[in-house]
Amino acid sequence: MSRKERPPIPEPLPVPTVDAHTHLDACGATTPDLVRAALDRAVSAGIAAVITVADDMDSARWVAEAATWDARLYGAVALHPTRTEGFGDAERAELERLASTDGVVAVGETGLDYYWDYATPEAQQEAFRWHIDLAKRVGKPLMIHNREAHDDVLAILASEGPPETVMFHCFSGDVEVARRCIDAGYLLSFAGTVTFRNARELQEAARLVPDEQLLVETDAPFLTPHPFRGRPNEPYCAAYTVVGLAELRGQPVEAVAEVTRRNAERVFHLHVTEIEDAERPPEGS
């Protein structure tokens, strides 16, 4: 099978869970019909709801609209840290409006990225502080993007005072960083990287996370889980990561699916059970 083809849809999880961070527009699902098809594939693997996340202004506008198209889809809006050079008042006003809409359940992804040099650390930090304040003002969770900036991300959160809920998306730290996040009460969300064979430090971190602070995501179309690394990712592939996390943590697959769903329902105020019931065909059909 070509590396350009999506992985096969796995057997459905024994209980449904949530893809807590994906980018459906970057996956090519940009119309209502394409979004519905991607969500149908996700549901067939046991991924009952999806949070699609913006990284620039065009994406933020799209996310806020797309979140109205299907009951299984929610959104998060922010300006990605690599795009914050020249972040001005007009963008801030529009993001505040979009973040206040009903289908948007989080402010994200925001944070710091010192791997790329598209925006200076100073611009990223100023924007990060603004997004922290925005999350507190609109009363929604904060989704953190953190790449090679662990100390500064945690220091800024501490100095600004974090919102009630902070999620580290695609957690990339080691055991020491995980402990600091756990002690601060933050949620850690794991993507397909936790299944990679060379990700030993990340796997050790994943074993530490208490059930009540654990989430799962795809970050699609990136970071497709093992053994399909390098192939296009999509929300249904979160099922592979749930299985991998269960093996790492020595827990039943249904337990990991259950706690990650319950955590997503709790912190993002989702209604996954109702969605699952609504999608189930009538008896005898």
Please answer whether residues 69 and 130 qualify as being in contact, where contact means their C-beta atoms are separated by less than 8 angstroms: no
What's the average model confidence in pLDDT over 188-202? 97
Decide if 284 is inside a domain. no
For residue 218, the enclosing domain spans 17-279
Annotation-wise, does 219 bind a ligand? yes
pLDDT digits (tens, 9 = 90+) for 124-139: 999 999 999 999 999 9
Give the domain CATH number at 121: 3.20.20.140
Residue 18: pLDDT over 60? yes
Decide if 8 is inside a domain. no
Rounded to two decimals, the pTM is 0.94
Annotation-wise, does 21 bind a ligand? yes
What's the average model confidence in pLDDT over 227-251? 97
Decide if 5 is inside a domain. no
What's the average model confidence in pLDDT over 142-152? 97
The pLDDT of residue 275 = 58
The pLDDT of residue 273 = 63
Decide if 9 is inside a domain. no
Decide if 11 is inside a domain. no
Decide if 104 is inside a domain. yes
Decide if 134 is inside a domain. yes
Residue 272: pLDDT over 90? no
What's the average model confidence in pLDDT over 22-28? 98
The pLDDT of residue 4 = 83
The pLDDT of residue 282 = 38
Q: How many separate domains does the chain show?
A: 1
The pLDDT of residue 271 = 84
pLDDT digits (tens, 9 = 90+) for 55-98: 999 999 999 999 999 999 999 999 999 999 999 999 999 999 99
Decide if 152 is inside a domain. yes
Q: What mean pLDDT value characterizes the chain?
A: 94
The pLDDT of residue 205 = 97
pLDDT digits (tens, 9 = 90+) for 149-185: 999 999 999 999 999 999 999 999 999 999 999 999 9
Residue 223: pLDDT over 70? yes
